[in-house]
A and B are shown apart, each in its own frame.
Chain A
Amino acid sequence: MAEARRRVRPGAAAFAARLASLAILIGLWQLAASLADTRTLPGPLAVAAFIGREIESGGMLTNIGVTLTRVAVSFVIAMTLGVLLGVALGRSRLADRMLDTPLLVILNTPALVITVLAYVWLGLTETAAIVAVALNKLPNVAVIMREGARSIDPGLEEMARTYRMDRRTWAAHVLVPQLQPFAVAAARSGISLAWKIVLVVELIGRPNGVGFAINYYFQLFDVTAVIGYSVAFMSVMLAIDTLILQPIDAHVRRWR
């Protein structure tokens, strides 16, 4: 009981602190905008008004929906392949030796280069866009999961062998719980990376999405619209992190 009460209070305090810092940030923005008084730094109210108009016209929701779909598909692909690759690298020294250099190469290739090459080789298609994003994110996931696979407790492995656990039991109750925190960390860092890259990919070669819209308004030199789109999409991604990924994280760590 006492423990539960103690846990609620810091949570509420943290939430209040978050709100306060957000309010201060918006206040500073407003202050800077009114001091500068130029078209290149619109205030929060102007941006909010733009977001309202864009939502009403339907353009923003469509673009966010398209971008979110691309983030989701490439995220799922990159996570699946990255987890498999990372675990293989962490468990097999041979795989690690063979694939370490290619992994480093992709890890250090600029996102822009991968994107351009994907469009050149696969055409200006949806597939190319998804491949480019997934390929950009995959090495990060693999590296994090490799650490996870390396940190597997050998004592528990011996225990599982001594008790002759079947493969399914071992995977579900010994292996996966040890990898879960790493997978969640990879997902959280990966989703923010994915959406940033999706915007670049859309800017270069897609006729819709948030990246396309930002590029369009940039050419019109409409800064209010550029900031409005990024604020709106950032809010969506923050909501996904807070409402989906953080609860999963807390669930995975519940036994600690």
Chain B
Amino acid sequence: MSAAGADTAPVLRVAIARKVYGAGGPEPVEAVRELSFQVTAGEIVCLIGPSGAGKTTTLRILLGLDRDFEGRIAPEPGGEGARLGMVFQEPRLLPWRSIEQNVRLALPRERRGRDLDDLFESLGLAPWRGRYPGALSLGMQRRVSLARALADEPRLLVLDEPFVSLDDAAAAGLRGLVTGAVERFGTSVLMVTHNVAEAIEIADRLLLLSARPARLIGEERLAVPRARRDRAFVEATRAALAARYPGVVAG
């Protein structure tokens, strides 16, 4: 299924000692404290925590969008070696460029002309390549955002609440596309969510975060293959987690 158990070199190593907003100001807010984890090759890791726990802050740090923190991230955030594809919570497409251009413009200049037929085909976007994002539903726009993230064959795919405000069918469809991409390209996934059931369906490993300041309070490995995770399994796992981490997982 995946290389979760294999002891390969991690594609991401995170060790954030501290992240404080408004440090030195009248009301400093500590967003993250002592948060360390790794993501290994081909693994799907879900970061779960209550809203406002500092999950998005953590993502911004590893994307290199926020450099004001204490700690170490490898590879260097925002650097050449990061090989990271990002799916933001909002699709963040350029509404004035076509779907195809949106995907290509995110590629470095020398690879912008590459063949993307397979990618568009596998995400069901082939008929839409020439359209503007405004013509697409939110679910389809998220697919474009996923295509953009996968176009440069990243080693790590980072997803920020990618299934929020989608109906069940659209969410399930997109989830299938993410796991499909992992299996096809061997990409690792780091996904942030507050939806525990969704995380249980998709993840190899769950990382549970406390309320602010975000700290790692638990780690759960899900050994059952994804294909065999039915509704009953998801419910049972959720109940077990709720019993063990009452602050993070609602009962």
Interface residues of chain A, those whose CB is within 8 Å of chain B, are: 155-156, 158-159, 161-166, 169, 173-174, 177, 255-256
Contacts and interface: CB of A to CB of B under 8 A. Distances in A.
B101 A173 contact: yes
Contact of A161 (B65, B97, B101): B65
The interface residues of chain B, by DSSP majority, are classed as loop
B150 to A, nearest CB: 12
Contact of A256 (B106, B134, B148): B134
A158 B65 contact: yes
B61 to A, nearest CB: 12
Nearest to A252: B96
B29 interface: no
Contacts of B90: 155
A177 B98 CA distance: 13
A166 B86 CA distance: 17
Contacts of B106: 159, 163, 165
Given A163-B106, A173-B94, A256-B95, 16 more contacts: A158-B63, A158-B65, A158-B88, A159-B88, A161-B65, A162-B63, A162-B84, A164-B108, A169-B109, A173-B101, A173-B105, A174-B94, A255-B96, A255-B97, A255-B132, A255-B134
A177 B96 contact: yes
Interface centre among A156, A159, A165, A169 (most CB of B within 10 A): A159
B215 to A, nearest CB: 25
A158 B101 CA distance: 18
Interface string B131-161: 0101000000000000010000000000000
Contacts of B65: 158, 161-162
